[in-house]
Amino acid sequence: MNDTTPAAAAMRLRALQAMSPARRLALALGWSRSVRELSRASIKQANPTLTDAQIHRLVAERLMGAELTAKAYGPPLSHG
């Protein structure tokens, strides 16, 4: 889904290009943190009985996929 006009996208690109690399990195890290927090909240709301470890694991699966998460964290945890 793309609800951004080409003119707005070009303006956003110019604004990003005008920023210092440090500022662009800070924005990207903030966006990444927001995605993790929103994912965590969504999972917790849908599954209120999960432990913090289970929620952490599901956030990782959502962001990295099941295969990479298994390589990083080992076998899946029990979901209840």
Q: Where are the domains of the chain?
A: 6-73
Three-state DSSP at 20 gives coil
Alpha-carbon distance of 39 to 62, in angstroms, equals 8
Predicted pLDDT of residue 46: 97
Q: How confident is the model at residue 1 (pLDDT cuts 50, 70, 90)?
A: low
Check: pTM over 0.85? Answer yes or no.
no
Q: What are 46-80's pLDDT values in tens digits? A: 999 999 999 999 999 999 999 999 999 998 866 55
Stretch (H or E) spanning 74: none
Average pLDDT, the chain: 92
